[in-house]
Amino acid sequence: MEKRFASIWFRYLTTDRHAIRRPDLRAVPFALAAPVHGRMVITEANAIAEAQGVARGMVVADAMAFLPVLEVADERPGMAARLLKVLGLWCIRYTPTVAVEPPDSLILDISGCAHLWGGERRYLKDIVGRLRSRGFHVRMAVAGTIGAAWAVARFGRETPIVHSGEEAHVLRGLPPVALRLEPEVTAKLHKLGLRTIDSFMHMPPSVLRRRFGEGLPRRLRQALGHEEEPVVPLRPIPPYVERLPCLEPIRTATGVEVAVQRLLEPLCRRLTGEGKGLRAARLMGYRVDGKVVQVGITTSRATASIPHLVKLFGLKVPQIEPALGIELFVLEASGVEDADPVQEALWGHVKGLEGTALPELIDRLKGRAGIRVISRYVPDEHHWPERSFREASSITELPPIGWNTDRPRPTRLLAKPEPIEVTAPIPDYPPMLFRYRGAAHPIRRADALERIEREWWMDPGEHRDYYCVEDDQGRRYWLFRMGHYGDDSPQQWFLHGFFA
């Protein structure tokens, strides 16, 4: 297979990152600075600042003297390396081999990949278009060698795609710095009048080695394709997946349970070692007939307890149909969270939400009756009663606020208030009778009015006036009237909840 490489150059990597976070920086001269020998020195400048004379290595005070509107921020050490790694992992969708080339570029081995996008030109256009849409200034080139792609991405003026075998022709007119040489070597070449690669390309390697060291002839051989350049690719974090191929197809429920046990052991061992726990997992069985059967589980809190997870999958095993047999099992942890380390107690056991007994019981009940049968709710910061709580993401989630207990609230709150017909005196008295679902409820007792204002920033409308009322049968209800009482519009009354 013909070797093809791509180089992506992020010309303003760190300043672009700040502009993405703060869009107002895109239209002003902006630079990053770091202390050097007691002075703040510019380490990176955006395109606008560069166009007005700001350059790397310039003292901030000097730059501010001729450009007072220059925005300056402190450079964060290691930011460029972290950004390159994140961008490199993003590029793995285009090729499995992506390497970081500090301080501001990526190298992609695209051999055998570009045809999936309809050719190298469309491949390049897709990558560059997506990165630019995210706010990065990028240039990209494709060639048969890493050195040629790197050089063309920065100094090329004709085409970003160099066909294999044309590297020497493209490199001829480029400056020596395009070979990724040390600054001392580049300065020596310029001093001797060797200002293009063509001026020394055909010199004997021994002469170049004697005058400039081994680096120059090696870079030249690599750029021309005479020597292979090693690549250290990024390795994405492996997913939490375990595979178990079977020597013989599994047809019984007992066999499936044994497979689950063997898959959970290495998975939970890894989770425990990384201080994590499982929140959701999926078991997939690849049958002999080519079909895939799968079941999933969820947990109330992050856990790596093998016995507990085996019990949860055991509840799902009857849903698996082995048919002619399952020849491959795959267990994928689709939800993983940080978990508290398990600490043994000398006396007794931890109870309540902090312990493991209650969450494990809830998980088993959910596995039997369905995911929505048991829920935990925490208070939320809203005025409307139906918005004043939300479902907790886990059994251990701590609510940001406490429950409001200064006013009575019904035991059962309707998800949506239901309209009722009411007979009520005026202006702000509780109703004397209301009709709900065809039945009349004479009211014998009622508590004082409670007004709850509407959240105007969420939706427009009127407030609610709530009353706790009791009918002639001793049943208590939570009613409200929408808005002020008035003769110009009919009043709307609603039933919102039932007290015990």
- For residue 196, the domain's CATH number is 1.10.150.20
Among 141, 175, 191, the domain boundary falls at 141
For 282-332, write each residue's pLDDT tens digit.
Answer: 999 999 988 999 999 888 888 888 999 999 898 888 889 998 899 999 999
Among 109, 141, 173, the domain boundary falls at 141
DSSP state of 197: G
- pLDDT above 50: residue 462: yes
pLDDT of residue 329: 93
3-state secondary structure 215-242: HHHHHHHHHHCCCCCCCCCCCCCCCCEE
Residue 268 and residue 320 in one domain? yes
In a domain, 51, yes or no: yes
Residue 22 and residue 59 in one domain? yes
How far apart are the C-alpha atoms of 17 and 25, rounded to whole Å?
A: 10
Which neighbouring-strand residues pair with 439?
436
Question: Which of these, 15, 11, 4, 44, lies nearest to 139 by C-alpha position?
Answer: 11
In a domain, 117, yes or no: yes
The total number of structural domains in the chain stands at 4
- Name the strands in the sheet holding 292-303, side by side, starting at the edge strand that comes first in the sequence: 241-250, 326-338, 276-287, 292-303
In a domain, 399, yes or no: no
In a domain, 400, yes or no: no
Residue 249 and residue 336 in one domain? yes
In a domain, 448, yes or no: yes
Residue 20 and residue 136 in one domain? yes
pLDDT of residue 339: 78
User: Which helix or strand (DSSP H or E) is residue 500 part of?
Assistant: none
Residue 135 and residue 158 in one domain? no
Residue count (the chain): 500
pLDDT of residue 362: 67
Residue 32 and residue 82 in one domain? yes
Q: What is the DSSP string of 236-304?
A: PPPPSEEEEEEEEEE-SHHHHHHHHHHHHHHHHHHHHHTTEEEEEEEEEEEETTS-EEEEEEEEEEEE-
Residue 17 and residue 136 in one domain? yes
Residue 49 maps to which CATH number?
A: 3.40.1170.60
pLDDT of residue 407: 80
Residue 214 and residue 166 in one domain? yes
**Taking each helix axis from N to C terminus, what angle separates 205-212 and 183-191, rounded to the nearest 10 degrees?**
110
| 173-187, 340-354, 381-395, range with greatest mean pLDDT | 173-187
DSSP state of 447: P
- Using alpha carbons only, what angle is made at residue 193 by residues 154 and 179, rounded to the nearest 5 degrees? 30
In Å, what is the CA distance from 108 to each residue of 12, 101, 150, 220, 394?
19, 10, 11, 20, 41
Owning domain of residue 115 = 9-141
Residue 218 and residue 250 in one domain? no
How far apart are the C-alpha atoms of 416 and 312, rounded to whole Å?
A: 35
In a domain, 124, yes or no: yes
Among 86, 121, 141, the domain boundary falls at 141
Per-residue confidence band for 133, with pLDDT thresholds at 50, 70 and 90: very high
CA 151, 154, 156, 160 torsion: positive or negative? positive
Residue 97 and residue 159 in one domain? no
Residue 135 and residue 159 in one domain? no
Question: Which of these, 94, 92, 48, lies nearest to 71 by C-alpha position?
Answer: 48
In Å, what is the CA distance from 120 to each residue of 148, 267, 308?
16, 40, 51
Average pLDDT over residues 368-377: 65
In a domain, 404, yes or no: no
Residue 19 and residue 137 in one domain? yes
Q: What is the DSSP string of 346-383?
A: SSS---GGGSSHHHHHHHHHHHHH-TTSS--EEE-S-S
Per-residue confidence band for 109, with pLDDT thresholds at 50, 70 and 90: very high
CA 343, 349, 355, 360 torsion: positive or negative? positive
CA 200, 201, 206, 211 torsion: positive or negative? positive
In a domain, 382, yes or no: no
Rg of the chain over CA atoms, in angstroms?
A: 35
- pLDDT above 50: residue 346: no
- pLDDT above 60: residue 343: no
